[in-house]
């Protein structure tokens, strides 16, 4: 937030912003980061339970496009920037707890699907993924240097973004928060993650 993202924001300001400003960072004793208060600027979170309607989704995807595009511009000027974002959500170097989180979630999904009408034929397929799901994620996130790559947000879902609204309650602006899992790779990572976590059922049905 005090280097890459700051440079990305400066490319598109004053018309747009990708995030709040990183005001101060201390690397040790203790590590902490002071971030601009987005609530005071009129931003707030949308409801993750109901999901994002079409207006919210359009704003979020436009914001994501700006995030990706500005990251490409920064990486072209400073190629070393992309070398700072090599881990992402799926990485063999993470503690076992990260793997367990996804494996247990997949197991729980298979067990829950037993109760869903017409879904039992898929239960066995999902159950077989339990021990392999994290390795599949690692393989999917491997960088391909020959493809088009960007700095991904890495955890692009409704809880990691905030919106500003007009007097009629319509969303008019969007910013991202939580940049712990940024990853240099295919932009499809963010796009698919967002589409599978954040739109409302009404948007899916369209």
Condensed to tens digits (0 to 9), the pLDDT of residues 106-131 reads 999 999 999 999 998 899 999 999 99
> pLDDT band at 2, cuts 50/70/90?
confident
User: Which candidate, 89, 86, 90, places its Cα nearest to that of 75?
Assistant: 86
Q: Where are the alpha helices (DSSP H) in the chain?
A: 4-12, 54-77, 96-113, 120-128, 133-140, 188-197, 201-205
pLDDT at 206 over 80: no
Beta bridge partners of 43: 164
- Phi-psi group of 143: left, alpha or beta (phi > 0 → left; psi -120 to 50 → alpha; rest → beta): beta
**Which pLDDT value is given to residue 189?**
96
Alpha carbon distances (Å) from 67 to 60, 73, 168? 10, 10, 27
**Which pLDDT value is given to residue 39?**
95
- Residue-wise pLDDT tens digits, 44-56: 999 999 999 999 9
- Residue-wise pLDDT tens digits, 46-94: 999 999 999 999 999 999 999 999 999 999 999 999 999 999 999 999 9
> pLDDT band at 1, cuts 50/70/90?
confident
- Residue-wise pLDDT tens digits, 179-197: 999 999 999 999 999 999 9
> pLDDT band at 205, cuts 50/70/90?
confident
Domains defined for the chain, CATH in brackets: 4-88+145-205 (1.10.510), 90-140 (no CATH)
Q: To which H or E segment does residue 163 belong?
A: strand 161-165
> pLDDT band at 25, cuts 50/70/90?
confident
pLDDT at 22 over 90: no
């Amino acid at each position: 937030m005090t280097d890459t993202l700051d440079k990305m924001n400066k490319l598109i300001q004053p018309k747009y912003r990708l995030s709040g400003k990183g005001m101060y960072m201390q690397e040790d004793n203790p590590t902490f980061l002071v971030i601009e208060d987005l609530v005071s600027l009129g931003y707030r979170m949308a409801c993750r339970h109901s999901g994002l309607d079409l207006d919210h989704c359009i704003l979020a995807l436009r914001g994501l496009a700006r995030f990706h595009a500005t990251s490409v511009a920064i990486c072209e000027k400073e190629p070393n920037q992309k070398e700072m974002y090599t881990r992402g959500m799926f990485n063999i170097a993470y503690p076992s707890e990260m793997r367990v989180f996804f494996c247990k979630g997949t197991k729980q999904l298979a067990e829950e699907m037993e109760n869903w009408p017409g879904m039992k034929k898929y239960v066995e397929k999902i159950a077989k993924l339990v021990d392999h799901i994290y390795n599949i994620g690692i393989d999917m996130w491997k960088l391909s240097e020959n493809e088009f790559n960007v700095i991904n947000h890495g955890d692009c879902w409704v809880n990691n973004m905030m919106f500003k609204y007009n007097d009629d309650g319509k969303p008019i602006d969007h910013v991202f928060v939580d940049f712990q899992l940024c990853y240099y790779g295919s932009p499809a990572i963010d796009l698919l993650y967002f589409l599978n976590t954040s739109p409302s059922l009404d948007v899916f049905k369209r």
